[in-house]
């Protein structure tokens, strides 16, 4: 059964009409049957108002938990994105930038390495033992986050295409070629694929920007060229070009926003349905009151 579901998921893409209509049709069959039952007992208008109060009231309550979270319920477990957007658009993520770029102008701390510290020092474990550091959950979380920032910065420092060919300018490539030829190992028989790559130099450093308070990460990167020996085994890479520091800032994201929009819309529809139901109930009460107070017409016989 699991294989069948996986096969169907692979066969039907997300933009297929069947995938787009799956949720609306599910709501139609699930909610339509309840509405038909209410319609048969209360009429179309009153049945729709009753169903709207129940449905949107539940949607509002569950939206509150999705937006604010709760005991054992983190934020962002409900609606993750809006139509036409990706689920990751509201998730926390790093954005890399280079010193001297337009983005760097927003963060005065970028470029001043004296304000950065290691992950251990950033979480207050500079003098802790290795066991204390590894058992600290905040350090584990931040070290993984810093690793993700490093990968993004590395990809911007030396971007590679789908064929692992470095996407660099002519001047930079000429410098790499000169350094690669100058430092070529004596036992090199050819170039490895990919030939130009990059690696980090030293650990990732973290800091909170002095003006914005946004978390920043930085690391020094070095481009390398890799040769292979006569057996095709890669040799120790040689450094090419100059090292460079790259930076990244951490966007907290807004995982609560889609759920908050859901909650707000559900509240509006709930209030509208409740108002409509109240108006119908008051109208029915007035009609019953008029029928009770209206004097009964006594039948009078017609004189013969």
**3-state secondary structure at position 198:** strand
Determine the pLDDT at residue 301: 61
pLDDT score recorded for residue 3: 46
The runs of H, that is alpha helices, within 158-256 are 170-182
Q: What is the pLDDT of residues 206-254, one digit of tens each?
A: 999 988 999 999 999 999 999 999 888 999 999 999 999 999 999 988 8
At residue 89, the pLDDT reads: 86
Per-residue pLDDT of the chain in tens (304 residues, 90 and over written 9): 444 444 444 556 667 777 677 777 777 777 778 888 888 888 888 888 999 999 999 999 999 988 888 777 777 778 888 878 887 888 899 999 998 888 899 999 888 888 899 999 999 988 888 888 888 999 999 999 999 999 999 999 999 888 888 888 899 999 999 999 999 999 999 999 889 999 999 899 999 998 899 999 999 999 999 999 988 899 999 999 999 999 999 998 888 899 999 999 999 999 999 999 999 999 988 888 876 665 656 555 665 5
pLDDT of residue 303: 58
pTM for the whole thing? 0.73
Enumerate residues 6+ apart whose C-beta is below 8 A from 82. 258, 261
Q: Where are the domains of the chain?
A: 14-83+257-293, 92-251
The Cα–Cα gap between 203 and 149 comes to: 12
pLDDT at 63: 92
Q: How much is the pLDDT for 71? A: 79
Please report the pLDDT score of residue 6 as a whole number.
Answer: 44
Q: In this structure, are residues 112 and 216 in contact, taking their beta carbons and an 8 Å threshold? A: no
At 302 the pLDDT is 62
Q: Omega of the bond prior to 194 within 30 degrees of 0, cis?
A: yes
Query: Exposure of 284 by Cβ count < 10 A (0-12 exposed, 13-18 middle, 19+ buried)?
Result: exposed
| pLDDT score for 284 | 87
Q: Report pLDDT for 77.
A: 79
């Amino acid at each position: 059964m699991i294989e069948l579901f996986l096969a169907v998921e692979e066969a039907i893409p997300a933009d297929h009409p069947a995938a787009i209509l799956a949720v609306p049709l599910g709501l139609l069959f699930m909610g339509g049957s309840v509405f038909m039952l209410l319609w048969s007992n209360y009429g179309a208008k009153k049945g729709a108002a009753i169903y709207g109060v129940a449905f949107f009231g539940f949607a509002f309550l569950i939206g509150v938990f999705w937006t604010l979270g709760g005991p054992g319920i983190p934020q962002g477990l409900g609606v993750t994105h809006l139509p036409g957007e990706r689920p990751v658009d509201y998730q926390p993520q790093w954005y890399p930038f280079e010193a001297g770029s337009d983005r760097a102008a927003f963060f005065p701390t970028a470029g001043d390495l004296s304000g950065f510290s290691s992950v251990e020092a950033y979480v207050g474990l500079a003098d802790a033992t290795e066991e204390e550091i590894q058992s600290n959950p905040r350090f584990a979380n931040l070290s993984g986050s810093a690793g993700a920032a490093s990968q993004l910065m590395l990809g911007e420092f030396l971007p590679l295409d789908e064929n692992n060919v470095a996407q660099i300018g002519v001047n930079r490539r000429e410098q790499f070629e000169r350094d690669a030829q100058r430092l070529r190992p004596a036992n090199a028989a050819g170039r490895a694929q990919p030939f130009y790559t990059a690696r980090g130099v030293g650990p990732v450093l973290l800091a909170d920007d002095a003006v914005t308070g946004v978390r920043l990460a930085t690391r020094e990167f070095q481009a390398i060229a890799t040769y292979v020996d006569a057996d095709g085994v890669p040799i120790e890479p040689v450094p090419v070009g100059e090292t460079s520091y790259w930076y990244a800032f951490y966007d907290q994201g807004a995982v609560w926003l889609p759920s908050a929009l859901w909650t707000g819309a559900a509240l509006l529809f709930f209030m509208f349905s409740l108002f409509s139901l109240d108006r119908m109930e008051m109208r029915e009460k007035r009609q019953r009151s008029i029928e009770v107070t209206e004097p009964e017409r006594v039948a009078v016989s017609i004189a013969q």
